[in-house]
């Protein structure tokens, strides 16, 4: 690593100093493209995709990839010269033809936005074997839509068109825009197909534009053509489109594509067909793998209903969410009926081919673990049954053994060992009768989860067991939103043994002493998640999560109603105190895609837990900590805070936790070469206690001083994209230390840097 940083710096220097090293004589390097628009109406970002030649990619305003290429000797083929050329980028030689083509593309685009007489002029400035291209876009006021006229030749569609005209996205008085016309074409095509017109397509829709009416206005003629029919004698006739109705629905619940391809008609003839509630199920002999009612419940299609393209897509999506099918194929064909008179309804048969996943699986997983920068490994034995009761119930059991090495300096903690078992059962419905209606299931795709787990954890200073049971629901609301509610969470934490010296150490703090006692947790939580990231699409996206939970309130009420008495200041259930608290946190992230090699990610986090009633502190598992691989990376995990509290250099157990956490992060990510990516980051934040902790002065959150306790760190790192996992190495450096008492808390303004101000982080996955 220490040799790589100078090497990277050398590449940046070389790429900056001599970018034209391999530009041939008589040619120039394309240095940059500039777009200048004389008025609002068209954004520069909208024109960038139409530029046909782009300069070499840049990182920090330097041509990094060109620098790699220039480090090689193009006359030599041996390593490292061929390797540098492969991972680098050869110089982009300015191409006048590409500039001319770009000019035409931009002109066509602005014309599509209503600027019919818009002009695009290019200017080329060349100096020192580099060329700058300026595209000057001169726009006059856009043409607007004067009127919209319908020309519907199809009598069957004409009524629907006029009825639907209020939803038309083409508006009078708005600028002419081809994209709006295309959006209207797609919208109206789906609308017509949703009303039974199976043979209709966007090709039957056309627009004519009349720009001769003057006053910089256009009239748009919105047309729909008749259906073109070709008879047995190849005679062409134009007839109205027909409405199609679904006659029969044939469902193949255990369809095997390979057998169908190899066996052909013989395979299909070997299957049995039964009529179940009006649906035809075609399958092999024997008990069905999936409950037929569950399949029907997932369908938006019914026998006798008119063809509907939206219902077809929703049926396919809902069947896939059951997670028992590898493939879901829905297609239609003409029903075998005598030809009907022109204008009458036509009949379709719907075929639904369902290819099952393997119902049971056994896995042995050897995985690397990363808990806030502490690396370890785990061996998992996993059994899954995806269809336990023939209703797409997912049953899972995991046996786990894990070892984790702790990386704190000035600490005797070196490792954690954990062994446990976890079982879960997920049902594709709500176990609530009044919410388990067919319409609710189809709209929200709900599920119920029951989970039980038992863990044994051995740390150098104590051992404990943790058992928990959770019962909850989750459902979707739209494409990007998800709700999770667990009305019942029951956990028991028991401390089996504790080191006497460690126990004496934490007894000085009531907060820490209470954190390491036996506790029972009975409560519930709710989470809302919004994530509009789309797989395989380069676009900016948001991620937002809110969690809220409460515990112990019902138990406290029951104790008070029964007149129970406290033991050692708290109510006990079966000889064990229970936790009473509320806790909520917010996690917001915004990912900005700058180009195909770099992005910026912003993150903000706010969390607060308030103990009350039966608790002096929230349970240790629910407390917040600072520092580490996923927080403020200039501090080791659990070594930051709370507030301005200084644990001293002699502390042998760094495990600072608290009730409140505020954190903000920004990270600039960029691809380098091969599997290597780089990052620069800036982190800020801290943790605080809600109540005063006399043993930890400066730890409590107060509005008039919390901003003085903000820690700030920066740094750089590398990511190694192995496809199946992301490895990460970060070097964090402290900028502002809340523990700094002499002068400014900004280190550079108060004292020289030392080795303790730098922290190496080795982790798995991105930090956020």
CATH number of domain containing 718: 2.40.160.50
How far is residue 219's CA from residue 257's CA, in Å, rounded to a whole number? 52
What whole-number percentage of the chain has pLDDT above 90?
49
* pLDDT tens profile 176-200: 999 999 999 999 999 999 999 998 9
Whether 254 and 212 share a structural domain:
no
302 and 189 in one domain? no
What's the pLDDT band for 341 if we cut at 50, 70, 90? low
pLDDT digits (tens, 9 = 90+) for 102-156: 999 999 999 999 999 999 999 999 999 999 999 999 999 999 999 999 999 888 8
Let me know: does 696 contact 645? Beta carbons within 8 Å: yes
Mean pLDDT of 588-606: 92
Beta carbons within 8 Å of 378's beta carbon, 6+ residues apart: 365, 366, 367, 369, 400, 401, 402, 403
Q: How far is CA 740 from the centre of its chain?
A: 39
Q: What is the pLDDT of residues 518-562, one digit of tens each?
A: 888 999 999 999 998 875 556 788 999 999 999 988 888 888 888
Neighbours of 407 (CB within 10 A): 20
Residues 154 and 285 reside in one and the same domain = no
Q: For residue 4, what pLDDT band results from cuts at 50, 70 and 90?
A: very low
Can you list the positions of beta strands (E) in 163-216? 205-210
- Do 403 and 350 lie in a common domain? no
**Residue 170 shares a structural domain with residue 316:** no
CATH number at residue 267: 3.10.20.310
Last residue of a domain, one of 138, 165, 198: 138
Same domain membership, residue 84 and residue 43: yes
For residues 441-468, average pLDDT: 87
d(CA 571, CA 65): 66
By C-alpha distance, which of 578, 645, 559, 575 is closest to 616?
Answer: 578
| pLDDT score at 407 | 54
What's the rounded mean pLDDT across residues 38-59?
A: 90
Total count of residues recorded for the chain: 768
- Which residue range forms the structural domain that includes residue 342? 244-356
Q: Which of 329, 356, 383 represents a domain boundary (last residue)?
A: 356
Residues 6 or more apart in contact with residue 530 via CB below 8 angstroms: 480, 481, 482, 542, 543, 544, 545
Of the residues 104, 138, 172, which one is the last residue of a structural domain?
A: 138
Q: Are residues 461 and 439 in the same domain?
A: yes
pLDDT at 371: 47
pLDDT at 395: 94
Per-residue pLDDT tens for 221-273?
Answer: 999 998 888 777 777 888 888 899 999 999 999 898 888 888 888 888 888 89
Q: Given a cut of 50, is residue 723 above it in pLDDT? A: yes
Residues 301 and 369 in one domain: no
Which two tokens mark 189?
Answer: 């095509």
Of the pLDDT bands very low, low, confident and very high (cuts 50, 70, 90), residue 1 is very low
Measured CA to CA, the distance from residue 15 to residue 618 in angstroms comes to 55
Helices 309-321, 178-193: crossing angle, 10 deg rounding = 80
Residue pair 120/37 in contact by the 8 Å Cβ criterion:
no
Q: Report the distance separating Cα 258 and Cα 271, nearest Å.
A: 15
What domain count does the chain have? 4
Instruction: Name the average pLDDT for the chain.
Output: 86
User: Which residues on neighbouring strands pair with residue 347, listed in sequence order?
Assistant: 245
Residues 254, 289: contact at Cβ < 8 Å?
A: yes
- The closest alpha carbon to 551, from 494, 613, 472, belongs to 613
Query: Is the pLDDT reported for residue 628 higher than 60?
Result: yes
The reply to whether 155 and 227 lie within a common domain is yes
Same-domain check for residues 555 and 683: yes
671-to-32, 65, 108, 600 alpha-carbon distances in Å: 21, 10, 34, 12
**Cα separation of 705 and 171, whole Å?**
55
Q: Are residues 104 and 169 in the same domain?
A: no
Residues 76 and 179 in one domain: no
Average pLDDT score over residue span 9-19: 59
């Amino acid at each position: 690593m220490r040799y790589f940083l100078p090497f990277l710096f050398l590449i940046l220097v070389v790429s900056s100093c001599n970018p034209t090293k391999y530009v041939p004589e008589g040619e120039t390097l394309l240095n940059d493209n500039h777009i200048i628009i004389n008025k609002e109406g068209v954004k520069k970002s909208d024109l960038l995709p139409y530029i046909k030649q782009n300069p070499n990619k840049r990182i920090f305003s330097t041509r990094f990839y060109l620098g790699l290429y220039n480090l090689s000797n193009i006359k030599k083929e041996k390593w490292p010269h061929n390797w540098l050329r492969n991972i680098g980028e050869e110089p982009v030689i300015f191409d006048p033809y590409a500039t001319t083509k770009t000019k035409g593309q931009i002109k066509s685009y602005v014309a599509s936005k209503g600027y019919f007489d818009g002009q695009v002029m290019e200017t080329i400035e060349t100096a020192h074997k580099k060329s700058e291209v300026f595209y000057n876009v001169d726009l006059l006021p856009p043409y607007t839509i004067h009127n919209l006229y319908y020309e519907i030749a199809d009598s069957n569609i004409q009524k629907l068109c006029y009825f639907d005209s209020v939803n038309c996205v083409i508006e009078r008085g708005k600028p002419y825009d081809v994209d709006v016309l295309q959006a209207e074409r797609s919208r109206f095509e789906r609308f017509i197909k949703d009303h039974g017109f199976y043979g209709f397509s966007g090709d039957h829709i056309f627009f004519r534009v009349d720009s001769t009416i003057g006053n910089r206005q256009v009239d748009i003629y919105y047309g729909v053509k008749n259906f073109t029919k070709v008879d047995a004698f190849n005679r062409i006739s134009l007839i109205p489109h027909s409405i199609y109705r679904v006659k029969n629905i044939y469902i193949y619940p255990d369809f095997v594509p390979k057998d169908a391809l190899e066996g052909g008609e013989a395979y299909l003839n070997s299957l049995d067909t039964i009529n179940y509630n009006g649906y035809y199920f075609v399958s092999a002999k024997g008990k069905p793998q999936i409950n037929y009612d569950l399949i029907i419940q997932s369908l938006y299609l019914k026998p006798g209903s008119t063809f509907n393209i939206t219902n077809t897509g929703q049926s396919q999506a809902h069947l896939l969410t059951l997670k028992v099918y590898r493939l879901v194929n829905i297609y239609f064909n003409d029903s075998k009926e005598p030809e009907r008179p022109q204008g009458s309804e036509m009949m379709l048969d719907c075929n639904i081919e369902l290819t099952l996943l393997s119902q049971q699986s056994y896995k042995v997983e050897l995985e690397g673990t990363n808990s806030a920068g502490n690396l370890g490994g785990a061996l998992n034995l996993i059994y899954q049954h995806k269809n336990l009761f023939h209703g797409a119930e997912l049953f899972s059991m995991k046996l786990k053994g894990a070892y984790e090495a702790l990386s704190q300096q000035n600490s005797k903690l070196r490792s954690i060992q954990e062994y446990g078992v976890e079982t879960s059962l997920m049902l594709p419905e709500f176990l609530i009768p009044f919410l388990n209606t067919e319409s609710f299931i189809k709209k929200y795709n709900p599920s119920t989860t029951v989970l039980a787990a038992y863990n044994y954890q051995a740390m150098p200073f104590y051992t404990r067991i943790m058992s928990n049971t959770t019962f909850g629901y989750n459902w979707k609301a739209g494409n990007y939103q998800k709700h999770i509610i667990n009305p019942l969470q029951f956990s028991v934490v028991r401390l089996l043994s504790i080191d006497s010296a460690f126990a004496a150490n934490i007894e000085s703090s009531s907060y820490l002493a209470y954190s390491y006692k036996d506790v029972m947790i009975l409560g519930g939580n709710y989470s809302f998640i919004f994530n509009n990231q789309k797989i395989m699409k380069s676009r900016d996206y948001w991620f937002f999560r809110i969690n809220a939970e409460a515990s112990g309130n019902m138990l406290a009420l029951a104790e008070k109603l029964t007149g129970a008495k406290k033991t050692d200041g708290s109510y006990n259930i079966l000889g064990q105190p229970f936790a009473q608290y509320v806790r909520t946190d917010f996690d917001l992230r915004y990912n900005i895609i700058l180009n195909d090699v770099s992005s910026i990610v912003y993150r903000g986090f706010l969390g607060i837990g308030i103990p009350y009633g039966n608790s002096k502190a929230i349970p240790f598992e629910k407390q917040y900590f600072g520092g580490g691989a996923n927080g403020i990376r200039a501090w080791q995990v659990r070594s930051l805070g709370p507030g301005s509290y200084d644990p001293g250099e002699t502390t042998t157990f760094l495990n600072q936790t608290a009730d409140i956490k505020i954190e903000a992060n920004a990270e600039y990510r960029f691809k380098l070469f091969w599997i290597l990516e780089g990052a620069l980051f800036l982190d800020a934040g801290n943790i605080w206690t809600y109540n005063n902790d006399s043993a930890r002065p400066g730890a409590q959150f107060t509005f008039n001083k919390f901003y003085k306790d903000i820690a700030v760190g920066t740094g750089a790192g590398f990511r190694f994209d192995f496809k199946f996992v992301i490895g990460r190495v970060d070097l964090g450096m402290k900028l502002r230390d809340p523990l700094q008492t002499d002068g400014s808390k900004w280190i550079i303004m108060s004292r020289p840097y030392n080795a303790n101000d730098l922290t190496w982080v080795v982790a798995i996955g991105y930090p956020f």
